[in-house]
Structures are given as C-alpha cells and as structure tokens.
Structure 1
Amino acid sequence: MHAFENPSPAATVMQGGLADSLFETARREPDLPQIARRLDADPGIWTTVTAAELWDEVVDLARGLVVSGLRPGNRVAVMARTRYEWTVLSYALWAVGAEVVPIYPTSSHEQVAWILQDAGCVAVVVEDEQGIMTVGSACASLPSLRHVWQLDTGALAQLVERGRAIPTTTVDSLRRIVLPDSTAVIAYTSGTTGHPKGCALTHRNLASPCDTLLAGWRHTAAPPGEQPAVLAFLPFSHVYGIMVQGLCLRGGILLGHEPDVSEETLSAALLSFRPTYLYAVPFVFEKLYKNFLRTAQRTGRGALFERAVQTAKDFAAATERQRLGTGSGPGFDLRLQHTLYEKTVYRKLRAALGGRVCGAVSGGSPLNRELALFYAGIGIVIHDGYGLTETSGGITAQPVGREKFGTVGRALPGTDIRVAEDGEILVWGPSVFQGYVNDPPSTYAAFQDGWLATGDLGRLDAEGYLAITGRKKDVIITSGGKSVAPAALEERLRVHPLIHQAVVVGDNRPCVGALITLDPDFLAHWRGAWSKGGASARDAREENELREEVRRAVAAANSTVSRSESIRVFRVLPEPFDQTNGLLTPSMKLRRDAISRRFAAEIDAMYQTSSRVPREYTPSEPSIWDDSDNVFR
C-alpha cells in the first residue's frame, strides 16, 4: 500500500450552504462583476451582472419557488445546457434548501424516467420543447412530479411574478437553516453499464475543493491586478461543470456561459469573451491543437508550425527539469529559438483563444504529457487534475511552480490518497460523497475501511505525484494471460491529428487490437491535399498514404509499451463513437461493452485476418487495414 497525505488547509469553517457565498459577496462587494451575459441583439457583446444584481435575481426566483410549494429537502431536476439560467436557478434552489438533480439534456427517455423516479423529484426544469416531450413521455410513472418548467417559454420570469407577495425575509430564513452537511446535489454517474447511480453531495462536499483550489491556485488565473474571467462551456450536468461554477461564484471570478460547444460557436465565444483561464477536458485541448496544425498547413506554414511545436515542447521540458531540480533549464540557443517563435507563432495561437488566457485546468481524464508540454511552451500552463463524481470534483492538482507533466499532480490539502496493492486508487477527504441514493449495497461496496475505492488504477511517486494508468474494470487480459490497461495506448493514438477516437480491445484474444475512427475535419483537410491527377489514381494514392499514416500513429503508440502490450492489429471504422449511437456516455466516456457488441463482426474479422499475417511481422508495424476498409466511401 502506497500512501500520500496532505495537511488540511487553514480555512474558515463553513457555517451554511452554497448560497451563502453569493449573499456574502453581494453584501461585501455589491458592484463586483460576477457574470457576463450576451446581448440578444449582438452575441459578440457581453454585459456584466454585478454580485448585488445576481443576488436580487436569485432571491426573486427563490420567492417564486416557495410560492410554488417547494420546501427544504425537495429535489428539483435541471435538464438544460450550460446557460445563465442554470446558475440563477441552482442558487435559488440552494437558498431555499432544495436539492439540485442535474440531468444531461441529451439523455434518453429511459434515462430521464429512471433519474426522476429514483430521485423522487417534485419538479423538473427543461430547456425547450424537446425536453418537454422527453419528460412528458415519462410523467405517468412519476407520482411525485408536480411541476415541469420550460426555460425558453419564460418559466423563470413567471415564477418571479408569482413570488412577488412572498417577503424576501422568508428566503433569508430558509437560507439560514441550510447546514453544510445538507444534501445540495444528487449527481447521477453517467454509467457505462446499467442504471446510473445518484451520488449525494453535500454543500460542504462541493465547497471544499473549490475553496482549496481558490486558496492555492486563484492567483494563477489572471495577471496581477486583473479580475479572472472563465467561460464555462463544460456541462453543468456534470460535477466538473458544477465545480467550475462554484469556483467562480465563491472566488469573485467573472463567469460567462456558452451552451453551444460546436467548434465555430465556441471559437467565436472565446474571441469575444476573452477568458483569462480555461477549464476543459483533454478532448478540447487535443482539438485545439489539431485546429492550430490544420490552419498552419492550409496556409502553407505547416513546417514552420511543427518546428515551433518541437521548440515549445523542448523549452517546457527543460523548464520543468529546472523547477524540479533535475536540470539547468533551457540553454541559450533554445531560449533564442523560443523567443523567435513567441513573436511569430505562439502569441498568434493565444490570440485565437481570446488573447488573455494565461493558464488552464484539464480534468475528466489524464492529459497527454506531450500535449501538456506544447501548451506550457506557448505560455499556457495546464494544471492537470483528477477527480470523480463521488468526490465532488477535484482531489488532485498540479502544485503551482512544481508542475510535473504526465501526472495529475498531488492530493489537494486535506485530502489523502493511497494506492492499493492491486493498483486501485483510494481516497479520503472532505469532498467524498455521502453515498448512493436508494442503494446501500453499492454505497457499502464503494468503501474500503472508510476509504473510497475509485475504481481507477494509478501509481504514486516518491513526491506524491499521481499518475493514472486506467480503469480497473477496463483492464484487458489476452488469451496468453497478459494484462493490459488500454487508456495509455488510446491517449497516445488520439494525439495524432488524423485520429479522432481509439478503443483498445483484446480480451481473450491472442494479441492487443484497436478500433480507430478518423477526425472528420482533419480527414477533409487531408483529402484537399490530394487534388492532382485523375480521381482513381488520386484515391489510390490517398488510401495508401493514409494507411501508412495510421500505421505510423499506431507504431508511435506502441513505442511506449512492451512488445506483449503493443497493438498488433487494428481496424479503421467508418462511424464515430458518440452519444447518438449510444457508444459514448454524456460525459464523453467510452461505452466499451456497447462498442464491442456493435463492432463484434469487425473485431472477429480483424483477428481472423491477422492469423494470415507472416510471423516476422513486428509489433511496430501493426498489420491490419484490409483492402475492404476504404474509409472514403
């Protein structure tokens, strides 16, 4: 058993609920810009809402909730994208002691029905007509459900009008009886198999990581003297998004909302909002990098960009060695090259993100070390962290000034981490949840002698830095008895510009294989590069070159593992893994069982073909891309 414990931070003892921080900010700094909202007439222009104005809106809505019959302990589901109303509504519910049940707006009828019934929700807030239809189809089996409110038809404004007769002192009285250990959120795990489980998170659970991060990391979120600004585009239906909201409102950070995460819309929002700090998942940072590369190649600057990327990585790696005491730092030539690329490349990349981003956080899954070095080299240090729904968000983070890329940092102060003999990560701390709603057996099974068993595999180094190696349940055991954690291989494959997704397979098979999907944007760019010659000749050359490029990507991933763990066969699939086909969870995690079932025939054919590959074929040259696998059809 390997353990690492952090001393608890010296922090103010929490006395009430999450809504108290908003009240205290409004009282202490009423004119502080708290939220930025878009003008309806011009989405490129943002107007600010002060702390006092936000508190007035929250109290007015809370009065309407009271007159509608909501009482402390009632559960209200919110099924909407990340938008301004989400923040006002959640704080109004917490102000009257109600509990928020987030639901992904893309959830199926069956998932919505299960969550509303399991949580015993008395009301649900939906965004649009599609949400009304989804909830309406389940209402017959929901005897506790009394209200369905639709945001796009002005439901919140109607609630405000209904609550005019309720004195504001009523809301204040209800807020004062909310205790830190009262339940604030019932967050349902996205679940790769079976029904999702509801994690009961208290006000203290949710506030703890926010306050710890603000105490130790807030000063990195903006240049000295500037108010930090964060554009929230992660779903508030996930605990990571809720944590970002909490950080902003507890820390006096300007919060903007972007409900549309399409590439074009998000890029425009970053340019107009101009955040100083980013909170995202690895997929977003991977996509941004690929967009930078694609743009450079389209403008004939691909070779320049690749040299600048390598310089950024080398500079960041040398700087890392210096701060960790294992090297002397960048040499003269490297510093000179870095300065040149700062003027010609790096500042233009930062400008594409609004021009003010000085740092970031990545969560949800580990960030690739090479990608972290690239961003650090262009002036955006990403503090990779680790957490899960059951821990109310973050439980580790990269310490400021001691970042070690390729890890998820060290345990937050007040949180303890252990790695069991089988490699499973165990956690204890103030952010660990109360348990699963209506499921005592699962709650009991989740703990080992008071420690939360995360189900994740990892290792701790001598300084307490944690590296995530995979999920315990995802470990593949080949027919030869070799255990393989797929996460690292999949992460390495996704870094390649052409590869969108990868799933490593091989349970009870003679070797490790992979199912791969291609990035549609980069594939279109790739096609554009093959514009000369006849169509048939062009297609043949393109197919051959693409085949070799994917082989090189797989070989690069194989270089990081042993021969027995390497990908020996692979197949490129014509369709992506996404939520619409049931192959991704709402939090963008792979549904491995569903993928294996959907592509069982392709997996069988992949291994049958591999049996005909000559024995001298090496693992650095993976073997399968059948002639029938024409991804351009």
Structure 2
Amino acid sequence: MRTIAELPFTAADAYGDRPAHRAKRGGGWVDMSFKELGDTVRALARGLIGAGIAPGDRVALLAETTPEWTQAGLAVVAAGAILVPIYPSSSVEECRWILGDSGARMAICADPAQLAKVERDLLPDLASTVVMSEGELAALAADEGDAELDRRLAAIEPDDPSIIIYTSGTTGPPKGCVLTQRNWVALCTINEQLPYIVAGDVVYLFLPLAHVFAQITQFACLHAGATLAYFGGDPRAIVPELAEVRPTFLPSVPRIFEKVYTALQGAPPAAARAVFGGRLRMALSGAAPIALGVLEFFAAAGVPVLEGYAMTESTGVGTVNTLADHRLGSVGLAAPGTGITIAEDGEVLMSGPHIFAGYWRNPEATAATLVDGWLHTGDLGVLDDDGYLTITGRKKDIIITSGGKNIAPANLENDLRQSRWISYAVVYGDRRPYPIALLTLDPEEIVPWAAARGLPTDLAVLAGHPEVRALLDGVVDEVNARYARVMQIKRFAVLDRDLSQDTGELTPTLKVKRAVVQARHTTTIDALYGESDGRG
C-alpha cells in the first residue's frame, strides 16, 4: 500500500462481504460490509470532485463519531483533498480559527446546530457547506467520474498531506499537525507487526474522530479486516453498549477505566470482565496518563488494559505495551521502526516514519519541534534497562517551588483521582512555597453517599460541608504518605462544580486545560497560600 487514500478500496477487495462497520439503528445493530464501504467512499469521492474539490483543497468535517463521518473522511482523502477534522464540542471561536487557519474550501457538518458554528461571512476561503442530517452528504454521491477519481488516486504521493489534525490547544490556539499519506501507512504497518487489532476483531469506538487516537483505530481496523462498532451517540449508554457489542479490542481514554474501577470496588473479578462484554482480549488506554492502581485492578480481573504513549505529531504511535511485552506503570517499548531517546534535560525525543511533516503554515513552531530528525515531545521521561519508557510529566507543567524543588504534578493528580470521591484533581505550586490542589467531587459517588447520611445533595453545598472535608482530608493524607514531604499537598480547595468541556476546562479527550483552570480559580488558589492554620 503506497498511500492511505487507497485503503478503503484495497480493504474492499481483500475482505469483501465481511462486516466493516456496525452501527446502532432503531434499537438494533446494523452492519456495512467492506465492499459496501468501498462503494460508498467511491461514490462520495466522485461527488466531491464533481462539487469542485481539487487536489490539495482542505475539507473540514464537523460531526460526531458515526460511520458517516468515516465514510466522508475517507472520501475526502481519496479525492486527493486534505481532511480537517473538527471536534463537535468546539466553540464558534474554535471553529472559526480552524476553518480560517486551514483555509478550508468546504465544511461538512453533522446538522444545523454544527452548521451554525460556521461563520461563512468571516471565512473567505470557504466556498460551500454540506449538512449531513439534511441528506446533503448522501445527495453528494455520484454515479459517474471514476476516470478522474482513479487518476487522482494514482497521482497521490506518499509524502502528500492527507489529514490536518488540530491539537486541542491546552496552552494556546490550536496548531494544525500535517499528517502525510506515508504517516498513516506506517501506522498500519506497525499495527500489523505488533499486532494490536487483527482480522475478526470487533472494536468499539466512542472516541471523537477529530482525535488521532480514533483515527488510528479506524485505519487499523480497515487495514486488518476488523469490524468497527460505533457507539450510539449517548455517553451514558457506553457501558450498556459494551455489553451488547461485546468487543474484543477497546481503545479508550483513562476516564472510562477510572469510572468502571470506582464502580466495581469490592466486586468479584468476573464483574469487570462482564462490564466489557466478556470477550475483551485487550484494551488500550491513551491520550492521558492512567493511575497504576487502575491498571493493577483490571490486570487482576483478567482484563488487560495496556498503556501506550504517542502524540498527534507522531500519528498516534510512539511506545506500546503488548500482551507479550508489557510492564504496568510504563508506557511500553518503542513501537517497530520508532526511535526513542531521552535528551539531557529529560525530554522524550522520538523519530520514525510516522513523525508528522510539521505544523500547517507555522514554520517557527515546526522548527522548534522537529530538530535534526527528532520530534521534541515536550514530555519528560525515563527509559529503564529493558527499554520501557515511563513518562514523569510535561516540561511546561513541572512545578518549581520557591524553595527550588522540582515537582511533577501528574503523579499526585493521578493518585488523588483514584479516590471514588474525586472527579478531577489539579495540582499547582510553581514559584510558591508548597503544592496545593483543586479538587472536584464525583457526583455519581458523593451524591448517593450524602443522601444516605441525610446530608444536602447539591454539589456546591457539599463542597464546603465539614463531613466532605473530613472525607477528603483522609484521601489527601493517604496520598501524601506516598511522597517525600516537599512533594506533599499542604492545602486543598474543593470546587463547587466539576470541570467540563462546556466551560473550556477540559479538552475533548477530557484532559485538564491547566492554564484555564488556574485563570478561572486564581482567587481560590491565592487563598490557599494565605495565612491559615487549616488545609483550605
């Protein structure tokens, strides 16, 4: 395979009538075969060409995770254009930035609500929009134009850009990571060599397709001949759908595993296996760190949750734990063809055929990130004697106290979040005398606990309630006991609501936007460094 643009058609030839996509329709699950998928992608690609999309044009896709998203995205790439995914949770301002920065010629939107985020008057490059719920995507499909499509497919080169994925912008405006045809082909080759996803697997996907983790999942499924089952759209139904789909492979962010871990405390191991449908061969946790205790819990229950490490800039590939070679607490060994080294300052550097081409229209950022063939990840890590990598924190997140001590907040935060009562923990302390933490309550756990004791069930009230404070004092004391005194949380505050994407405090993969949280709660943080004989 020379290019990823060919993949839907080579997969159709290889796997024919086997199920490629599975989706919830009217209360049941409906399959689309690889042949049907290839035919659909071909028809949509012909339609895009007929609509005036030229090779190299950028086409944005603003929609939830559905089979139609994948079909449209594959068609964009097959037509020789460049796909620009946008999170459906993005604000009007974020959409304006990505559409404007990429110079998108077309925007494919899920429905009128997503279309409303597209400010055409402010986007001179945007020539047209397509609304999927109005039947406009299906209407785009064309029966003619194979000659031009085949000509374009043959003309696509391995180093041509295929997808521009914008980072979530935890520290500023999103940057567009240019991923080439070669990058995605390398990903498929790596999956084949590991292997992770194999022929016959059923893979349940709820991750947003604007994220590289979901993209590598869909491409690996296509290449391997696995069935990709799409969640029905309601996050509250993920656990029931897992029982229905009974996946053999599950890609997920840590938050899902943490929620299941909390809910199953004290339950027999069989309960953990049953939650995932009873057939799960392997789960892969990515996009954010996961606590060691959570991994140990699932390992003991016979549900292998393996952690990997990657970035958008590395096409979602870097280091991997596998069933054959894994070490809990590490993010694994270098993936096949990947170079991993540690710089003098502790930064993880990465090389390989999956490293991105650079940031779209941002040569300065590209030059700072790609140096002498190495991707500077911005993450700190250590390699053990066997080559297993452990991530110790982000360079930009390292806390240097006023006493000159360096503290990585991620470990403290992960340990605090293992408590069933805590939803999020954000640790601060840079240029301050000691570390402090902002905690949010997990409503699914704290509200029933409060109700059983006759306490108020309003989160804002519970945040300041003495019994809740005493509960969290115990959690913080337990976590502090694992760390040297200089690293211990001296004081904490309980926020009156949870963090969310809607407030801009979380990324679409539920990572904390540390700077946003800090700006929103400056007064609270400052108060934790005021004169007091208590903890908060």
Shorter-chain TM-score range: over 0.9
| Preserved contact between residue 187 and residue 239 of structure 1 (Cα < 8 Å) | yes
How far 1:598 sits from its partner (Å)? 1.1
In structure 2, what is the Cα distance between the partners aligned to 1:405 and 1:560? Answer: 18
Partner of 1:80: 63
Question: What secondary structure does 1:94 align onto?
Answer: helix
Of 90, 94, 105, which residue of structure 2 is paired with 1:107?
90
| Preserved contact between residue 358 and residue 379 of structure 1 (Cα < 8 Å) | no
Of 277, 281, 297, which residue of structure 2 is paired with 1:358?
281
| Preserved contact between residue 247 and residue 280 of structure 2 (Cα < 8 Å) | yes
How far 1:158 sits from its partner (Å)? 0.9
Alignment of 1:467 onto 2:390: yes
Question: What secondary structure does 2:525 align onto?
Answer: helix
Partner of 1:3: none
Structure 2 letter corresponding to 1:567: I
Superposition map of 1:282-297 within 5 A = 282-293=254-265
Question: What secondary structure does 2:378 align onto?
Answer: strand
Partner of 2:532: 612
Alignment of 1:180 onto 2:158: yes
Partner of 2:535: 624
Partner of 1:548: 470
Alignment of 1:248 onto 2:221: yes
In structure 1, what is the Cα distance between the partners aligned to 2:430 and 2:290? Answer: 26
Alignment of 1:275 onto 2:247: yes
Structure 2 letter corresponding to 1:287: K
| Preserved contact between residue 197 and residue 436 of structure 1 (Cα < 8 Å) | yes
Partner of 1:312: none
Question: What secondary structure does 1:394 align onto?
Answer: coil
Superposition map of 1:443-482 within 5 A = 443-482=366-405
In structure 2, what is the Cα distance between the partners aligned to 1:478 and 1:208? Answer: 42
Of 10, 14, 17, which residue of structure 2 is paired with 1:28?
14
Q: Please give the per-residue CA displacement for 1:490-546, whole angstroms capped at 9, x wherever unaligned.
A: 0111111110001101122211100000101011121233149x99xxx99x94443
How far 1:194 sits from its partner (Å)? 2.2
| Preserved contact between residue 455 and residue 472 of structure 1 (Cα < 8 Å) | yes
Q: What is the TM-score with the length of structure 2 in the denominator?
A: 0.95
| Preserved contact between residue 493 and residue 554 of structure 1 (Cα < 8 Å) | yes
| Preserved contact between residue 271 and residue 353 of structure 1 (Cα < 8 Å) | yes
Q: % of aligned pairs identical?
A: 39
Partner of 1:324: none
| Preserved contact between residue 255 and residue 510 of structure 2 (Cα < 8 Å) | no
Of 26, 44, 49, which residue of structure 1 is paired with 2:32?
49
Q: What is the TM-score with the length of structure 1 in the denominator?
A: 0.81
| Preserved contact between residue 366 and residue 407 of structure 1 (Cα < 8 Å) | no
Q: Please give the per-residue CA displacement for 1:547-583, whole angstroms capped at 9, x wherever unaligned.
A: 2321222123223321101111111111222121121
In structure 2, what is the Cα distance between the partners aligned to 1:354 and 1:394? Answer: 27
Alignment of 1:59 onto 2:42: yes
Q: Point out where structure 2 has 5 or more consecutive residues left out of the alignment.
A: none
| Preserved contact between residue 167 and residue 175 of structure 2 (Cα < 8 Å) | yes
In structure 1, what is the Cα distance between the partners aligned to 2:370 and 2:489? Answer: 35
Question: What secondary structure does 2:425 align onto?
Answer: strand
Question: What secondary structure does 1:380 align onto?
Answer: coil
Partner of 1:564: 486
Partner of 2:329: 406
Q: Please give the per-residue CA displacement for 1:5-35, whole angstroms capped at 9, x wherever unaligned.
A: xxxxxxxxx42x2132221221123112111
Partner of 2:126: 145
In structure 2, what is the Cα distance between the partners aligned to 1:513 and 1:348? Answer: 36
Superposition map of 1:472-551 within 5 A = 472-531=395-454, 543-551=465-473
Partner of 1:427: 350
Partner of 2:51: 68
| Preserved contact between residue 171 and residue 513 of structure 2 (Cα < 8 Å) | yes
Q: Please give the per-residue CA displacement for 1:335-393, whole angstroms capped at 9, x wherever unaligned.
A: xxxxxxxxxx2223322222221211011122211111111111111121000111110
Aligned length: 532
Of 286, 297, 311, which residue of structure 2 is paired with 1:388?
311
In structure 1, what is the Cα distance between the partners aligned to 2:221 and 2:477? Answer: 43
Superposition map of 1:581-592 within 5 A = 581-592=503-514
Bigger shift: 62-71 or 394-403? 394-403
| Preserved contact between residue 94 and residue 175 of structure 1 (Cα < 8 Å) | no
Alignment of 1:374 onto 2:357: no
How far 1:589 sits from its partner (Å)? 2.2
| Preserved contact between residue 348 and residue 378 of structure 2 (Cα < 8 Å) | yes
Question: What secondary structure does 1:97 align onto?
Answer: coil
Q: Please give the per-residue CA displacement for 1:231-269, whole angstroms capped at 9, x wherever unaligned.
A: 110110111111111111111110011252522x11222
In structure 1, what is the Cα distance between the partners aligned to 2:529 and 2:405? Answer: 17
Bigger shift: 461-470 or 521-530? 521-530
In structure 2, what is the Cα distance between the partners aligned to 1:207 and 1:493? Answer: 39
Q: Point out where structure 1 has 5 or more consecutive residues left out of the alignment.
A: 1-13, 294-301, 306-344, 614-622, 626-633
| Preserved contact between residue 132 and residue 138 of structure 2 (Cα < 8 Å) | no
Partner of 2:80: 97
Structure 1 letter corresponding to 2:60: A
